[in-house]
């Protein structure tokens, strides 16, 4: 029997807001899609665009970049840089006609457990709709 397709999504979460938000979602017993694999960083500004690119090229079905809302960064301005990096990655992939849709940016604060549950579910559904990342099966990358 063929297993139903469950996507594999990497979430890069900042320690101070989004990871705490995800924790709150868990403590609140909200349902979180099992497709999300979380990697915690101290700040979303630590997300080297290459982390995201590598995840996609090595076959992850989607990547979520999450951090504090603009203005709320624990380090004052880390997430402003994240925002520019996110736009950069998206633009490059769009111009190259690669699946830019598989990458998303969400601001989730420490108190937004509900939002964490919502955005992860929405993104997971979207990726399920898109199907597996075609790079997963490509040999000549």
Partner 1 sequence: MSDVLKIKKPVEEGITEFLKYLLEKNKVNGKFSQLLPKYWEAAKNSEVLPSLRPTCTACEHFVPALADIIVSVAGNKNLTEECSLHLNTSKGEELAQGAPGNKTTEKLNDRELSKLKELRQKEREKLFASVKDKNLGLAGMVKTFAPCLSCHGCRQVCPICFCTLCDFDSKTQEDKPSHYESELQQKGGARIPSGTLYFHTGRMIHMAVSCVNCGMCSDVCPVDIPVATLFSMVGESLQKLFDYLPGKDLEEPAPCETFIENEFAGLGE
Q: Which residues bind partner 1 (CB under 8 A)?
A: 49-50, 53-54, 57, 59, 69-71, 77, 80-81, 83-89, 91-98, 105-107, 134-141
Q: Which two tokens stand for residue 130?
A: 């898109």
Shortest Cβ distance from residue 119 to partner 1 (Å)? 9
Shortest Cβ distance from residue 136 to partner 1 (Å)? 7
Smaller CB separation from partner 1, 29 or 66: 66
* SS3 state of residue 120: helix
Burial 32-46 (b: 16+ CB within 10 A, else e): bbebbebeebebbbb
Shortest Cβ distance from residue 135 to partner 1 (Å)? 7
18 and 68 Cβ atoms separated by less than 8 Å: yes
36 and 7 Cβ atoms separated by less than 8 Å: no
Place of tokens 């301005």: 77
Smaller CB separation from partner 1, 15 or 57: 57
Smaller CB separation from partner 1, 27 or 53: 53
Pairing verdict, β 103-107 and 36-41: unpaired
Place of tokens 């709320």: 72
Shortest Cβ distance from residue 75 to partner 1 (Å)? 13
Of all helices (H) and strands (E), which one includes residue 33?
none
Smaller CB separation from partner 1, 2 or 29: 2
Shortest Cβ distance from residue 40 to partner 1 (Å)? 18
Smaller CB separation from partner 1, 29 or 133: 133
């Amino acid at each position: 029997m063929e297993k139903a397709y469950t996507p594999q999504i990497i979430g890069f979460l900042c320690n101070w807001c989004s990871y705490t938000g995800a924790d709150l979602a868990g403590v609140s017993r909200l349902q979180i899609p099992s497709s999300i694999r979380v990697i915690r960083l101290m700040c979303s500004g630590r997300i080297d665009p290459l982390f995201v690119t590598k995840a996609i090229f090595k076959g992850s079905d989607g990547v979520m970049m999450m951090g504090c809302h603009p203005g709320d960064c624990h380090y004052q301005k880390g997430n402003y840089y994240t925002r520019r990096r996110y736009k950069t990655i998206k633009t490059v992939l769009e111009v190259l006609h690669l699946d830019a849709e598989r990458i998303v940016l969400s601001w989730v604060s420490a108190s937004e457990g509900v939002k964490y549950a919502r955005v992860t579910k929405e993104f997971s559904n979207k990726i399920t709709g898109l199907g597996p990342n075609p790079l997963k099966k490509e040999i000549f990358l």
